[in-house]
Structure 1
Amino acid sequence: MNNNFLFFGRPEEIDVSQDRTDYQKLPLHEQQIFISNLKYQTLLDSIQGRSPNVALLPLVSIPELETWIETWSFSETIHSRSYTHIIRNIVNDPSLIFNDIVTNEEILKRAEDISAYYDDLIKMTSYYHLLGEGTHHINSETITVNLRALKKQLYLCLMSVNALEAIRFYVSFACSFAFAERKLMEGNAKIIKLIARDEALHLTGTQHIINLMRAGGDDPEMAEIAKECQNDCFELFKKAAEQEKEWATYLFRDGSMIGLNREILCQYIEYITNIRMQAVGLDLPFETRSNPIPWINAWLSSDNVQVAPQEVEVSSYLVGQIDAKVDQKDFRDFEL
């Protein structure tokens, strides 16, 4: 929870003025790769900016988790704003880019998969709160509402969100960092690094919640539901991975980047999918392999690289790192 506040940052803190010049010098197919990823990320984070609050808060009963979810949603709105900040800097008419987001079929079919699980949970929660348990006739449909069905929708929704945080951003992240490895679009990469740091927190949080449910310590029925949903969750993750591989194919349809191509990205998706699925107790869908782009770890870990502040714009600082709490044990070795 505290890390959510420590990692708070605003996109305007990063200088992206050089990125405009870099973007104009890129080949057309690399411009397309860059801007397509920003469109995709904008829509995903727009969904994430409101959906956790709308879908999950009506089911939360402890203040700590409520605060965490609200902070999570808030950070996603900052991410969406960050992409807007980048796009406005590099193109003369940003409206052309924003308008294409909601008409691009490749982007929409991924967003629809994510929003479907949120929509199902929101509907079931509304029926449970308004109508109570039982069989109800709504809009010519017969709906059976009970607590177990609601728990199942919640579990599947959390798994879908976990797949989003675990897999769906990483093709875009890899492309952004590959540009920066060539000393291009470095302002964008610094913003994306901050976003990736946030997504790692959200991933860890949802993994923890899912694993508590799987363990059934507080609710044995949730452990039963987790076993019951095992195959559905396996297919959910695998579909997310396949869609990301399709996205890589779409991105590189007109050519590759230096150091990155469709085949390498597909291998990377399989690599991280295995890791993410293992973390939530699912079988591995792909052959075990090593990381095909190990250089990305330096970008995904805030502490892997230390630079002199006077040499570059530092993006790895934490906000509010001073611990102001003092008690008697802090003076044990203090002598007058």
Structure 2
Amino acid sequence: MARSVFNTGTNLDFTKQPMFFGEDLQVQQYSDMKYPIFDKLNQQQLGYFWRPEEVSLQKDRNDYLDLSEQQKFIFTANLKYQTMLDSVQGRGPCLAFLPFCSLPELEGCIVTWDFIETIHSRSYTYIIKNLYSQPSEIFDTIIGDEKIQKRAQTITETYDDLINTGYKWHLNKDSVDEYEIKKKLWRALITVNILEGLRFYVSFACSFGFGELKLLEGSAKIISFIARDESQHLAMSQRIINNYRDLENDKVMLKVIKDTEKEVYQMYDEAVQEEKRWATYLFSKGSMIGLSEK
């Protein structure tokens, strides 16, 4: 049976529903909540609201023209990579997690999370349009960039796996094994946790490094806003993960967590190795003052 956008059945006590795979949602209310922390995190997100156009990039344009070729390479490669990451996150949470969500406070949190990620994508566009004479040349090379493609595949794999299985689940819940779909959800949650916590590490360090050199300071300020948001998103994904471990009492998911423990460690380790390889790639044409591959 397909899901409904508004469950008109008997009033449900959503404080007794699971985070995901419960009953269809009814009234969006934020009074009696199972996990008030999600509403608190949502309010914090909204309180951080900002727009990239608030930051002037006039000086950044001149700074970019004066950069060395290796500095331009580092800055541009990171911008392209960051644009890819937040293109994924600008739609991923809503596409992958929202269809299964069964708590109003978590639903609100995910919707805001997704919205904030689109501001990040818009921010990268704002930077690119202000610093490059032909912005389309930057955007058009993202998909064809082998290094970025490889990293994108790692990130999107678990998202796509959950989304595609979700289509089957919505049409006929009995056609999808509960353990398997919860395993796909768990792997997607871990992937997102890794993305928000690790996958911006090197690129953000470079952005802040330019700022420390009094170069591209407007761009660095925008990146600092994005980093603050990503810290908030890391807290959200970590809360969902912790709830499954400690509070949900979902026997199937607890078995998934136990069975995939080694795989999860490998996922985190691989992300660290990818960040190291990205640093090697960035500094392959030379380092910048204050930063190197090591």
Q: Distance in 1 between matches of 2:283 and 2:114?
A: 31
User: How is 1:292-303 mapped onto 2 (pairs within 5 angstroms)?
Assistant: none
Gaps of 5+ in 1: 135-144, 264-336
How far residue 42 of structure 1 moved from its aligned partner, in angstroms, is: 0.3
Instruction: Name the structure 1 match of 2:44.
Output: 3
- Aligned ranges 1:80-159 → 2 under 5 Å: 80-134=121-175, 145-159=176-190
Counterpart of 1:210 in structure 2 is: 241
Which protein shows a greater Rg? 1
Offset of 1:132 from its aligned partner?
2.8
Instruction: Name the SS for the 2:198 alignment partner.
Output: helix
Q: Does 1:64 align with 2:105?
A: yes
Match of residue 184, structure 1, among 209, 212, 215: 215
Map 1:249-264 → 2, pairs under 5 A: 249-263=280-294
Give the equivalent residue in structure 1 for 2:262: 231
TM-score (norm 1): 0.74
TM-aligned CA deviation for residue 218 of structure 1: 3.5
Distance 1:127 1:226 in 2: 23
The worse-fitting range, judged by mean Cα deviation, of 63-72 and 211-220 is 211-220
1:194 maps onto 2:225 in alignment: yes
Q: 1:217 to 1:63 in 2, by over 3 A?
A: closer
RMSD: 1.0
Check the 8 A contact 1:178/1:260 in 2, yes or no: yes
Is 1:241 the equivalent of 2:275? no
> Which residue identity does 1:182 align to in structure 2?
L
Q: CA deviation at 1:216?
A: 5.0
Q: What residue is the counterpart of 2:117 in the other structure?
A: 76
TM superposition score normalised by structure 2: 0.84
Instruction: Return the offset for 1:133.
Output: 2.2
In the aligned structure 1, how far is the partner of 2:138 from the partner of 2:248? Answer: 48
**Greater length-normalized contact order (CA 8 Å, ≥ 6 residues apart):** 2
Residues 215 and 223 in structure 1, CA contact (< 8 A), matched pair in contact too:
no
Structure 1 position 227, deviation (Å): 1.1
Unaligned runs of 5+ in 2: 1-41
May I ask how many residue pairs the two structures share in their alignment?
253
CA distance in 1, matches of 2:181, 2:141: 36
Matched residue of 1:101: which SS?
coil
Q: Distance in 1 between matches of 2:233 and 2:193?
A: 8
